[in-house]
């Protein structure tokens, strides 16, 4: 978090991808570290395939705001097809974080010009759908992306994400989600390190 400022996360995805669950579990992970946290979805259709937005606020003090997040500190984009259908970057601050579920680079997505003023180590992609499929047998990206979020922001620990997973799931489902979150965490950490080294050598 920026000093003692509230940290605001906006999650974009589609119905059936666990967008609301991701926001809820992010808030649980933050709460487990002693933060105040709030999670809620946008109003509207959540039918399978329809665009869905969820929000999470994290702060050191009680959160009294209830309105949608218009200026996010971090964006988690669970479905890259939304990039050219919805203005997911509305209100985004250039010192913020972007995590996109894709195996493609930002340049391949056509975002390098849009995000050229952002810090390279604040921008990461991770193939969360493939990771979910690998560990869970289902193409669900949300929990893997929470591991990626922990890595890219440093706001919460991977251990807190794992604790939130164990609090919601059990057995093989919990094990698969933990493996997915851990792999995404490691992938994003490696990507961040490469971006930092690239910036030093530029």
- Asked if 177 contacts 46 with a C-beta cutoff of 8 angstroms, the reply is no
Counted domains in the chain: 1
Distance CA 18, CA 77 (A): 12
Instruction: Write down the residue that tokens 């949608």 correspond to.
Output: 68
**1 has pLDDT over 90:** no
Residue 186 confidence class, pLDDT cut points 50, 70, 90:
very high
pLDDT at 159: 98
pLDDT tens for each residue of 4-34: 689 999 999 998 899 999 999 999 999 999 9
Q: What is the mean pLDDT of residues 121-128?
A: 96
- Asked if 89 contacts 69 with a C-beta cutoff of 8 angstroms, the reply is no
The angle, 0 to 180 degrees and rounded to 10, between the axes of the packed helices 158-168 and 171-201 is 160
In a domain, 169, yes or no: yes
The angle, 0 to 180 degrees and rounded to 10, between the axes of the packed helices 171-201 and 128-136 is 150
Distance CA 78, CA 142 (A): 7
In a domain, 73, yes or no: yes
pLDDT at 199: 73
CA dihedral 75, 81, 85, 89 (to 10 degrees): 20
Distance CA 192, CA 194 (A): 5
For 55, counting Cβ atoms within 10 Å of its Cβ (0-12 exposed, 13-18 middle, 19+ buried), the class is buried
105: left (phi over 0), alpha (psi -120 to 50) or beta: beta
pLDDT tens for each residue of 107-123: 999 998 889 999 999 99
Q: What is the CATH number of the domain that holds 85?
A: 3.40.920.10
pLDDT at 196: 82
**2 has pLDDT over 70:** no
In a domain, 180, yes or no: yes
- Asked if 101 contacts 82 with a C-beta cutoff of 8 angstroms, the reply is no
Distance CA 5, CA 110 (A): 32
pLDDT at 44: 59
In a domain, 1, yes or no: no
State which residues form the domain around 84.
7-201
């Amino acid at each position: 978090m920026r000093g003692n400022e509230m940290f605001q996360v906006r999650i974009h995805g589609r119905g059936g991808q666990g967008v609301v669950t991701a926001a809820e579990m992010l808030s649980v992970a933050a709460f487990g570290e002693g933060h105040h946290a709030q999670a809620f979805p946008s109003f509207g259709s959540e039918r399978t395939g329809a665009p869905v937005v969820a929000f999470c606020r994290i702060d050191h003090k009680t959160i009294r705001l209830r309105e949608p997040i218009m200026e996010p500190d971090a964006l988690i984009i669970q479905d890259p097809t939304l990039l050219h259908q919805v203005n997911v970057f509305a209100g985004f601050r250039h010192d913020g974080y972007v995590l996109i579920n894709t195996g493609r680079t930002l340049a391949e997505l056509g975002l390098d010009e849009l995000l050229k003023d952002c810090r390279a180590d604040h921008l990461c992609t991770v193939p969360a759908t493939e990771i979910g499929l690998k560990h869970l047998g289902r193409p669900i990206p949300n929990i893997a992306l929470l591991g990626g979020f922990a890595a890219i922001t440093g706001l919460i620990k991977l251990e807190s994400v794992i604790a939130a997973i164990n609090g919601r799931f059990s057995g093989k489902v919990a094990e698969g989600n933990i493996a997915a979150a851990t792999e995404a965490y490691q992938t994003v950490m490696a990507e961040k390190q490469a971006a930092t080294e690239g910036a030093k050598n530029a």
